[in-house]
Amino acid sequence: MAMKRPHVVVLGAAGFVGSAVLRELAHHRLRVRAVSRRRTPIPGGARAEIEVCAADLTEPGAMAAAVADADVVIHSLAYIAGSSTWRIADGDTAAERVNVGLMRDLLSVLGDREDGGVRPAVLFAGSASAAGPSDKEVLDGTEPDRPKGEYDRQKLAAERLLLAADAAGAVRGAVLRLPTVFGYSSGSSTRDKGIVSMMVRRAVAGEPLTMWHDGTVRRDLLHVDDVARAFSTAIDHIDELAGSRWLLGTGHGAPLGAVFARISELVAEQTGKAEVPVVSVDPPSNAEARDFRSVTIDSTAFRDATGWRPEVSLEEGLRMTTSFCTGGREAELH
């Protein structure tokens, strides 16, 4: 008798990270429910059995319907405002409703189950920035959590709700804290609003690439396909991961000035146009301390627990992203 396929629910499946996770899960023999406000396309050539569910999860009863019968829930929901997902004003109740309230709703629904079977698993897309500013450039997960910005405080609040539910025995919960995630690949279906793709768009438009510093600030840039593989791998290692936060990253901090210069070169190479300049400008009033701090991620703990390794090099990721944008495919995305 064939074993039942695990049922995985992806919340935020039309988002940047969620859509990449859906593409990755489509390669596996799973049952997948893709949940988002707008309908998301089913990846071509899928081996998974995929159900698409368009729902506003802030509506009464929507969360219960979305995660019904789920063995695993991947929570990649985020409040998106304007060109960035993380700059939130203090006291923004709409952002809190999504970033924290939906985690509370999810755990309430899963905690009410009475089937007596294996506890459902919840994997949460957290943020490395939830730890707050640190004097350390290399973060390994041992840093105390002292978030400064509202976005980081809300992400940490959601993490704490999940880990408390795990400790109480309601779910098996784990947090994957993400660094700066970027990039497109051939199957991308959602627009990347991060700094890398923003600079690619400027280069394609012939505009200068601007920095708020001298270009030596470093970031650990992880391609979204590697993030998706990390979530897929985590499903198979949920018992080892449950109850903890885990950092994802490449282990390499790339100077943003050099990254932007490479973007300019690649766009020029792919379009035949002149390279655009990379220039330093005064930071805006909403700049935060973390904008000027270098960050590299030591993800040894997650690698050792799961065997996951980043597979997309920075050069390959930049090439795929610039090719996607210069080829006009980004213009087709919502």
Residues 25-62 pLDDT 10s:
999 999 999 999 988 889 988 999 999 999 999 999 99
Q: How confident is the prediction along the chain (334 residues), in pLDDT tens digits per residue? A: 344 678 999 999 999 999 999 999 999 999 999 999 988 889 988 999 999 999 999 999 999 999 999 999 999 998 776 554 556 666 678 889 999 999 999 999 999 876 667 799 999 999 999 998 888 889 999 999 999 888 999 999 999 999 999 999 999 999 999 999 999 998 999 999 999 999 999 999 999 999 999 999 999 999 999 999 999 999 999 999 999 999 999 999 999 999 999 999 999 999 999 999 999 998 888 777 778 889 999 999 999 999 999 999 999 999 999 999 999 899 888 6
- Residue 174 has φ and ψ, to the nearest 5°, of -140, 145
Tell me how far apart the terminal alpha carbons of the chain are, to the nearest angstrom.
43
CA 321 and chain centroid, separation: 16
Tokens representing 164? 């408390």
The Cα 262–Cα 275 span in angstroms is: 10
| Residue 108 dihedral angles phi and psi, to the nearest 5° | -65, -45
**Residue 296: strand pairing partners:** 138
The fold adopted by the segment(s) 7-256+279-327 is: Rossmann fold (3.40.50)
Structure tokens at 49: 């059995």
The full 3-state SS of the chain, as one line of letters, equals: CCCCCCEEEEECCCCHHHHHHHHHHCCCCCEEEEEECCCCCCCCCCCCEEEEEECCCCCCCHHHHHCCCCCEEEECCCCCECCECCCCCCCCHHHHHHHHHHHHHHHHHHHCCCCCCCCCEEEEEEEHHHHCCCCCCEECCCCCCCCCCHHHHHHHHHHHHHHHHHHCCCCEEEEEEECEEECCCCCCCCCCCCHHHHHHHHHHCCCCEEECCCCCCEECEEEHHHHHHHHHHHHCCHHHHCCCEEECCCCCCEEHHHHHHHHHHHHHHHHCCCCCCEEECCCCCCCCHHHHCCCEECCHHHHHHHCCCCCCCHHHHHHHHHHHHHCCCHHHCC
- Residue type for 281, please? V
**Strands 121-127, 72-75: parallel, antiparallel or unpaired by DSSP?**
parallel
Q: Are 66 and 10 in contact (CB under 8 A)?
A: no
The model carries a pTM of 0.94
Locate 327 and state its tokens: 């080829």
pLDDT, residue 134, reads 83
Q: What is the largest CA-CA distance in the chain?
A: 66
Domain locations along the chain: 7-256+279-327
